[in-house]
Each structure stands twice: as structure tokens, then as C-alpha cells.
Amino acid sequence: MVVGSNTTEVNLLDISINGAGIEMKLRSRAKVAVGNEVYLKCSWNPLLFSQKGYVIKSIRGIKIGMERRD
């Protein structure tokens, strides 16, 4: 996941046409907030995620829910 100039490794929990759910280390979680725009990259499938990015809609512990930008 890329937030600004920071790159953080995350685990993908769920993906749909409208968004994605991820899990990240608690230490890295401090770098994100609801409303932040983030970009996801996948090394084994570059077309998996939208190039427009995602907006963080919810944070519950280490789980983060995001909505795809239109």
C-alpha cells in the first residue's frame, strides 16, 4: 500500500468491484486515517487493483475498509 511517499506491506482480506479490505501491522496503522487516499499495488498481478486509488472508510484495529475512487 502506498500512502503519500510511504510504502507499507499489507494483507488482502477481501476485494470487490467497489472496494477492498486489508489488514496491516499495528505499527504501520498509525500512518493512515479515515479519509486518506491510498494506492494498492500487487507484485504478482498489476491489474488487480484500481489505478485510481481507494479512500479509507473504516478502521477497526488492524483491519481497514476502503472504497474505490471513481
Per domain, the residue ranges of the chain are 2-68
C-beta of residue 37 within 8 angstroms of C-beta of residue 54: yes
- Give the pLDDT of residue 13: 94
Residues in the chain: 70
Q: pLDDT tens digits, residue range 10-64?
A: 899 999 999 999 999 888 887 889 999 999 888 888 888 878 899 999 999 999 9
At 5, the pLDDT band (50, 70, 90 cuts) reads: low
pTM (two decimals)? 0.83
- Give the pLDDT of residue 66: 95
**Tally of CB atoms within 10 A around 13:** 12
Segments of 1-70 assigned E as strands:
2-3, 6-7, 11-15, 19-23, 37-38, 54-60, 63-68
C-beta of residue 62 within 8 angstroms of C-beta of residue 32: no
